[in-house]
Chain A
Amino acid sequence: MNWFKRLTGQREFMIGCIVLGIMVVMSFASPYFLAWDNLLAVLLGLSIEAIVAVAMTNLMVSGGFDMSVGSIVAFVGATTALLLAKGVPTVPAVLIGLAIGALIGLFNGFIISKVGINPFVATLSSLSLFRGLTLIVSRGRNISGLPDSFAAIGQAMLFGVQTPIIIAAVLIIGGDIMLRRFRFFRQSYYIGGNERAARLSGIAVDRMKVLAYMLTGLFAGLAGIVMTARLGAASMTAGTGLELRVITAVIIGGASLQGGEGSVFGAFLGSLLMALITNALTLLGVDVYWQTFVIGATLLVAVLIDQLGKTSAQAKAAGAAKASAESGARKSA
């Protein structure tokens, strides 16, 4: 039964059960819920934030934090659209857009790990900086008239599924395996667990941290490109509030602000849970104004359950340690 206990002790399992529960209840409550189109709409709705959540999970596992992802989404979307509008072909425009995202991440990572500014403050200023730059470069207008080859990134269908969903799925599966299994990303957990001990264990802490911010910038940039392609235009308000939804999803999925824990799959379940709640409330005809409230409550409940679980596990562990110390002493006596 040990594996069962371990499984049920995990946040992914808990959130997964809640997600399933909602799906079962909703399939009875609304005939439309299980319709293929509705499920695809839910997934399409969360695909953009799920892409960002993949990199945000790694960042938060290493104890970092990024408030600027929403602005990066908008800024990269706007600059890529401008390049396309100026006649730059799709491939170079996309690559430049991705590079801009990564550079903004590098900038965040540099002032946080080398200059030593607090991550919240540093990325809060980036949030304003790059939202501001978006407004400046777009002159406050949406940028449309993008080529079809670019629009395909967000609008094409593969096996009857929209590309944003496919892109998100690939990144979530790949990201989950990498963070779970790769030696390289295992270092993120150590940094989040105890930064000083990680450094003395031979982990290149500063380099890993800068890289984690760069990856976050890169993924946010990709999300911006996908979003622009899907809408067929770059909107200056794209990604507003995205950072809070992504961070909420990552935390619901098992990460904490201190770092050292969390998983990409958990973060995906977190954003799926939020999307399902929104969808369910809409289908049930609940006043839309309640949606944000319910998501706040979900976060609080997830964190509370976790906290309660931890306190009792700690007490039990202390008891077991004591008992085994006693038996150990007796054996050697």
Chain B
Amino acid sequence: MSEYILEARDIVKTFPGVKALDGVDLKVRRGETHAVVGENGAGKSTLMMVLTGVYRPDSGSIVLDGREMAFSSPQEAVRHGISIVYQELSLVPSLSVAENIFANRQPVNGIGAIDKNELNRRAREYLALFDLECIDPSTLVKNLNPANQQVVEILKAISTDPSVLILDEPTSSLTEIESKRLFDNIRTLTGRGLACLYISHHLSEIFEIASTVTILRDGRFVCDASVADIDEDFLVTNMVGRTITDIYGVRPDPASLGAPRFELRTLSRKGAFSDVSLIVRAKEIVGLAGLVGAGRTELGRAVFGAEPPHSGEMLLDGKEISPQSPGTAIALGIGYLTEDRKTQGLFLDFPIRANLAANRLSSLSKGPFVSEALVDEATERAIRDYRIAAGGAKKSVRTLSGGNQQKVLLGAWIGIEPRLLIVDEPTRGVDVGARSEIYGFLRALAARGTAILMISSDLTEILGMSDRIYVMKSGHIAGELEGGTATEESVIALATGAAGGECEA
């Protein structure tokens, strides 16, 4: 038995025009959680796909338990004990939990039909592993919340009894509390000898769950280290290639904040949230924390007119408003940065300039005509101001890294010069370098007078950025905290309440 269960040696992988991996080494011990970190586009996902046989490396070798391997397909990697949970969810929403877990390996009865009882019984065993007996294996996956869908992904990956489990950004759609539960589950698995490869942009998680970390930069191997020997600055410096101090910037003096800019009075929407009252002042960044499913996104979309509220009042600068569509909200000076930039925010096949112009065509027009000159000017300004690293304004945004995509989207919304900007998960899946820049842009926008409502599942982000924090729990405001004094515990206590509510499907 070799010391390492899985080794990658000097892996090179090129895509047409891109050297995605350039001599990368990776050594994973049995039973450890091994983190892989790097900026957007550093090659983390590509490395995982090489390990699982999705891509064949141009050169280099993969050694599994002392034996050199060359997988030609993910199925073959699975047969040799390497399972992966991809960055993007890969479940079939219209099938049940059990059918998803045992996709293609459903137990069959005498005549070759799927044995439902046996299938559900075995699924229940796996669910019990993560203390989720309360989920019925015949529930359709689309009816689960994102956190539990993630669990099903993981159960699907471990149902083949792997010796290495790869998790590519598993927490990007989870809140802190759900992440904590995931970590417990990972510890259970590693306790049984499984090795876990863990990718995340949340550096605090690395210290919580991993024992070893490998750092990649621009497709190259930078170093690996035992987590006990390093700190977050070391990680950031080696990932980014420069030091970043204080990524959240400086919280302004509370006395410098402006007058109330935006106010909600007992706003309700059936089935989403009820009796929500809150205030955001000019120049203020207000955090909206809570569990996934607490109704934060629904609240944001209601304010933005995408799904208008059923009752209650909305005031902007003291005047009552009730936008019935995003168009009217934008005309009032309200912007909404969606939580899912790829499916709801960006026009992926369009160039940067078209994306930046999407929400303010009228201000970029002369008479009935779109003014290409104005669009170009706005684009150049945004690329410069937001330091968008792009091959050119005419390239489709699909080719940009996650961080740059997010900067384009944020640039579009700052471009309407909003009076109130709602940002929903503003840094999901964004690397630490781009993240600190985005925080800087939000701070600068607030300083110019905009009221910002920041929905986020990332507690450190909420605590680091907010002047004030509202915590939502099952559609209600559970409490309000001062940004300067709030702690992780105080937010979690409000978000979960006394009763655990651990097992909502």
Contacts and interface: CB of A to CB of B under 8 A. Distances in A.
A181 B370 contact: yes
Contacts of A332: 242, 387
A193 interface: yes
Contacts of B20: 322
B344 A317 contact: no
Interface stretch (A23-31, A137-145, A184-192): A184-192
A321 interface: yes
A322 B41 contact: yes
Interface string B376-415: 0000000000010111100110111100100000001000
A329 interface: yes
B118 interface: no
A200 B325 CA distance: 9
Contacts of B389: 321, 324-325, 328-329
B404 to A, nearest CB: 7
Contacts of A186: 361, 370
A201 B336 CA distance: 9
Given A324-B391, A326-B218, A317 B399 contact: yes
B347 A193 contact: yes
Contact of B347 (A260, A329, A330): A260
Interface string A196-236: 11111111100000000000000000000000000000000
Given A182-B368, A329-B218, A332-B242, A315 B344 contact: no
A261 B18 CA distance: 27
B369 interface: yes
Nearest to B301: A200
B401 A321 contact: yes
B358 A190 contact: yes
A322 B327 contact: no
Interface in A293-333: 312, 314-326, 328-330, 332-333
Given A202-B330, A319-B16, A319-B18, A190 B347 contact: yes
Interface residues of B, number: 52
A316 B370 CA distance: 29
B391 A321 contact: yes
Contacts of A320: 17, 391-392, 395, 399
A125 interface: no
Interface in B9-29: 15-18, 20
Nearest to B412: A201
Max chain B Cβ within 10 angstroms of own Cβ: one of A193, A320, A322, A333 = A322
Q: How big is the A interface, by class?
A: 35 or more
B348 A194 contact: yes
A181 B18 CA distance: 36
B387 A317 contact: no
A204 B387 CA distance: 31
A79 to B, nearest CB: 33
Given A183-B369, A315-B17, A324 B390 contact: yes
Contact of B369 (A181, A200, A201): A181
Contact of A325 (B343, B398, B404): B404
A20 B304 CA distance: 51
B339 to A, nearest CB: 11
Nearest to A191: B347
A200 B347 contact: no
Contacts of A203: 327, 358
Nearest to A182: B368
Contacts of B348: 193-194
B336 A200 contact: yes
B345 interface: yes
A9 B18 CA distance: 22
A329 B241 contact: yes
Contacts of A312: 16
B392 A198 contact: no
Given A202-B330, A333-B241, A197 B347 contact: yes
A329 B240 contact: yes
Contacts of B362: 183
Nearest to B362: A183
Most buried by B among A315, A318, A323: A318
Contacts of B365: 183
Given A202-B359, A322-B41, A197 B346 contact: yes
A318 B347 contact: no
B361 A321 contact: no
B218 A321 contact: no
B420 to A, nearest CB: 15
Residue among B392, B395, B401 facing the most chain A CB atoms (10 A cut-off): B395
Contacts of B347: 190, 193-194, 197-198, 260
Contacts of B401: 321, 325
Given A183-B370, A322-B18, A200 B361 contact: no
A319 B219 CA distance: 13
A319 B392 CA distance: 12
A317 B330 contact: no
A189 B355 CA distance: 11
Nearest to A314: B399
B300 to A, nearest CB: 11
A190 B327 CA distance: 14
Interface string A260-295: 110000000000000000000000000000000000
Contacts of A190: 347, 350, 354, 358
B233 interface: no
Contacts of B240: 329
B115 interface: no
A194 B343 CA distance: 8
B349 interface: yes
B369 to A, nearest CB: 5
B272 to A, nearest CB: 17
A200 B326 contact: yes
B346 A194 contact: yes
A194 B348 CA distance: 8
B13 to A, nearest CB: 13
Interface string A154-185: 00000000000000000000000000011110
A200 B399 contact: no
A261 B347 CA distance: 12
B37 interface: no
Contact of A202 (B17, B326, B344): B326
B36 to A, nearest CB: 18
B338 interface: yes
B242 A333 contact: yes
Interface of B: 15-18, 20, 39, 41, 218, 240-242, 304, 306, 325-327, 329-331, 336, 338, 343-350, 354, 358-359, 361-362, 365, 368-370, 387, 389-392, 395-396, 398-401, 404, 412, 433
Given A321-B400, A329-B241, 5 more contacts: A181-B370, A202-B329, A317-B391, A319-B16, A321-B389
